[in-house]
Protein backbone atom coordinates (compact mmCIF):
# COMPACT_ATOMS: atom_id res chain seq x y z
CA UNK A 1 0.00 0.00 0.00
CA UNK A 2 1.41 3.36 -1.06
CA UNK A 3 0.22 5.19 2.06
CA UNK A 4 1.89 2.68 4.40
CA UNK A 5 5.16 2.86 2.42
CA UNK A 6 5.17 6.66 2.70
CA UNK A 7 4.66 6.53 6.48
CA UNK A 8 7.55 4.09 6.79
CA UNK A 9 9.71 6.64 4.92
CA UNK A 10 8.88 9.30 7.53
CA UNK A 11 6.54 11.37 5.35
CA UNK A 12 3.90 13.28 7.30
CA UNK A 13 0.34 12.07 6.88
CA UNK A 14 -2.72 13.56 8.62
CA UNK A 15 -6.28 12.30 8.71
CA UNK A 16 -9.19 14.69 8.30
CA UNK A 17 -12.60 13.56 9.49
CA UNK A 18 -15.81 15.25 8.48
CA UNK A 19 -18.22 15.91 11.35
CA UNK A 20 -21.56 14.14 11.37
CA UNK A 21 -24.44 16.46 10.55
CA UNK A 22 -27.77 14.72 10.82
CA UNK A 23 -29.64 14.66 7.49
CA UNK A 24 -27.16 16.91 5.65
CA UNK A 25 -26.69 16.30 1.94
CA UNK A 26 -23.84 17.92 0.00
CA UNK A 27 -25.07 20.27 -2.73
CA UNK A 28 -22.47 20.08 -5.51
CA UNK A 29 -21.92 23.38 -7.36
CA UNK A 30 -21.12 21.84 -10.74
CA UNK A 31 -21.17 18.05 -11.01
CA UNK A 32 -19.34 18.22 -14.35
CA UNK A 33 -16.22 19.42 -12.52
CA UNK A 34 -16.29 17.55 -9.19
CA UNK A 35 -18.98 14.97 -8.51
CA UNK A 36 -18.59 14.55 -4.74
CA UNK A 37 -17.46 16.60 -1.73
CA UNK A 38 -13.77 17.35 -2.02
CA UNK A 39 -11.07 18.61 0.34
CA UNK A 40 -8.26 20.96 -0.58
CA UNK A 41 -5.31 21.68 1.71
CA UNK A 42 -2.82 24.46 1.06
CA UNK A 43 -0.56 26.92 2.77
CA UNK A 44 -2.36 30.02 4.05
CA UNK A 45 -0.01 32.40 2.19
CA UNK A 46 2.64 32.24 -0.55
CA UNK A 47 5.47 31.44 1.90
CA UNK A 48 3.47 28.60 3.46
CA UNK A 49 2.39 27.22 0.06
CA UNK A 50 6.02 27.04 -1.01
CA UNK A 51 7.15 25.48 2.30
CA UNK A 52 4.29 22.96 2.21
CA UNK A 53 5.06 21.68 -1.28
CA UNK A 54 2.71 19.39 -3.19
CA UNK A 55 -0.15 17.76 -1.31
CA UNK A 56 -1.33 14.17 -1.81
CA UNK A 57 -4.70 12.79 -0.82
CA UNK A 58 -6.00 9.30 -0.15
CA UNK A 59 -8.54 8.79 -1.73
CA UNK A 60 -7.83 11.35 -4.42
CA UNK A 61 -9.76 12.82 -7.35
CA UNK A 62 -8.73 15.20 -10.11
CA UNK A 63 -10.61 18.32 -11.12
CA UNK A 64 -11.09 19.18 -14.81
CA UNK A 65 -7.90 21.27 -14.69
CA UNK A 66 -5.91 18.30 -13.31
CA UNK A 67 -5.76 19.73 -9.78
CA UNK A 68 -5.86 17.03 -7.08
CA UNK A 69 -8.34 16.93 -4.20
CA UNK A 70 -9.21 14.61 -1.36
CA UNK A 71 -12.41 12.76 -2.20
CA UNK A 72 -15.37 11.99 0.06
CA UNK A 73 -17.86 9.57 -1.45
CA UNK A 74 -21.50 10.68 -1.64
CA UNK A 75 -22.38 7.30 -0.12
CA UNK A 76 -21.64 8.71 3.35
CA UNK A 77 -24.57 11.13 3.12
CA UNK A 78 -26.99 11.77 4.63
CA UNK A 79 -25.98 10.75 8.13
CA UNK A 80 -29.08 9.22 9.74
CA UNK A 81 -27.70 7.82 13.02
CA UNK A 82 -27.15 4.39 11.47
CA UNK A 83 -25.49 1.89 13.81
CA UNK A 84 -21.73 1.49 13.15
CA UNK A 85 -21.66 4.53 10.83
CA UNK A 86 -18.08 5.47 9.95
CA UNK A 87 -17.55 9.19 9.43
CA UNK A 88 -15.64 9.89 6.20
CA UNK A 89 -11.87 10.20 6.45
CA UNK A 90 -9.38 11.63 3.99
CA UNK A 91 -5.66 11.06 4.49
CA UNK A 92 -3.58 14.11 3.57
CA UNK A 93 0.14 13.84 2.98
CA UNK A 94 2.80 16.54 2.69
CA UNK A 95 5.73 14.53 1.23
CA UNK A 96 8.10 17.47 0.63
CA UNK A 97 7.28 19.83 3.49
CA UNK A 98 10.18 22.08 4.51
CA UNK A 99 11.78 20.83 7.73
CA UNK A 100 12.39 23.06 10.77
CA UNK A 101 9.80 25.57 9.55
CA UNK A 102 6.35 26.28 10.96
CA UNK A 103 3.90 25.97 8.08
CA UNK A 104 0.35 27.33 8.37
CA UNK A 105 -2.14 25.07 6.59
CA UNK A 106 -5.81 25.49 5.71
CA UNK A 107 -7.93 22.52 4.63
CA UNK A 108 -11.39 23.27 3.29
CA UNK A 109 -14.35 21.66 1.58
CA UNK A 110 -14.59 22.67 -2.07
CA UNK A 111 -17.18 22.36 -4.80
CA UNK A 112 -20.22 22.72 -2.53
CA UNK A 113 -23.00 25.33 -2.61
CA UNK A 114 -24.14 24.75 0.96
CA UNK A 115 -20.93 24.54 2.97
CA UNK A 116 -17.79 26.52 3.57
CA UNK A 117 -16.24 24.29 6.24
CA UNK A 118 -12.53 24.66 6.86
CA UNK A 119 -9.89 24.00 9.47
CA UNK A 120 -6.55 25.70 10.06
CA UNK A 121 -3.50 24.28 11.79
CA UNK A 122 0.27 24.60 12.06
CA UNK A 123 2.75 21.91 11.07
CA UNK A 124 6.35 21.75 12.24
CA UNK A 125 8.59 18.82 11.41
CA UNK A 126 11.96 19.18 13.06
CA UNK A 127 15.06 17.21 12.25
CA UNK A 128 18.31 17.35 14.15
CA UNK A 129 21.56 17.29 12.23
CA UNK A 130 22.78 13.74 11.81
CA UNK A 131 19.54 12.23 13.12
CA UNK A 132 16.63 10.64 11.35
CA UNK A 133 13.25 12.29 11.34
CA UNK A 134 11.32 11.23 14.41
CA UNK A 135 7.58 10.98 14.04
CA UNK A 136 5.49 11.84 17.07
CA UNK A 137 3.49 8.76 17.96
CA UNK A 138 4.24 5.09 17.67
CA UNK A 139 4.16 3.01 14.50
CA UNK A 140 1.20 1.18 16.08
CA UNK A 141 -0.74 4.47 16.16
CA UNK A 142 0.06 5.08 12.50
CA UNK A 143 -0.86 1.49 11.64
CA UNK A 144 -4.20 1.90 13.42
CA UNK A 145 -4.87 5.02 11.30
CA UNK A 146 -4.03 3.06 8.15
CA UNK A 147 -6.33 0.24 9.26
CA UNK A 148 -9.13 2.73 9.95
CA UNK A 149 -8.78 4.08 6.42
CA UNK A 150 -8.78 0.55 4.95
CA UNK A 151 -11.86 -0.36 7.01
CA UNK A 152 -13.57 2.83 5.85
CA UNK A 153 -12.94 1.89 2.21
CA UNK A 154 -14.31 -1.61 2.87
CA UNK A 155 -17.44 -0.13 4.49
CA UNK A 156 -17.74 2.33 1.61
CA UNK A 157 -17.68 -0.50 -0.95
CA UNK A 158 -20.52 -2.21 0.96
CA UNK A 159 -22.68 0.88 0.38
CA UNK A 160 -22.02 0.73 -3.36
CA UNK A 161 -23.23 -2.87 -3.79
Name the pTM for this structure: 0.70
3-class secondary structure for the chain? CHHHHHHHCCCEEEEEECCCCECCCCCECCCCCCCCCEEEEEECCHHHHHHHCCCEEECEEECCCCCEEEECCHHHCCECCCCCCCCCEEEEEECCCCCCCCEEEEEEEECECCCCCEEEEEECCCCCCCCCCCCCCCHHHHHHHHHHHHHHHHHHHHHHC
CATH number of 2-160: 2.60.40
Domain boundaries, the chain: 2-160
**Per-residue model confidence as pLDDT tens for the chain (161 residues):** 565 665 556 677 889 988 777 777 777 777 667 778 889 999 999 999 999 999 999 999 998 888 999 998 878 777 788 888 888 889 999 999 998 899 999 999 887 776 768 899 999 887 655 544 444 444 455 455 555 555 554 444 333 32
Amino acid sequence: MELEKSLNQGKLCLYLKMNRIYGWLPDIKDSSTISSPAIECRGTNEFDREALGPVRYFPEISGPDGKKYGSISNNYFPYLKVKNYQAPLVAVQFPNITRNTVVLVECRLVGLKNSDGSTNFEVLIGIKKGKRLKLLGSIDEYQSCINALINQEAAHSKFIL
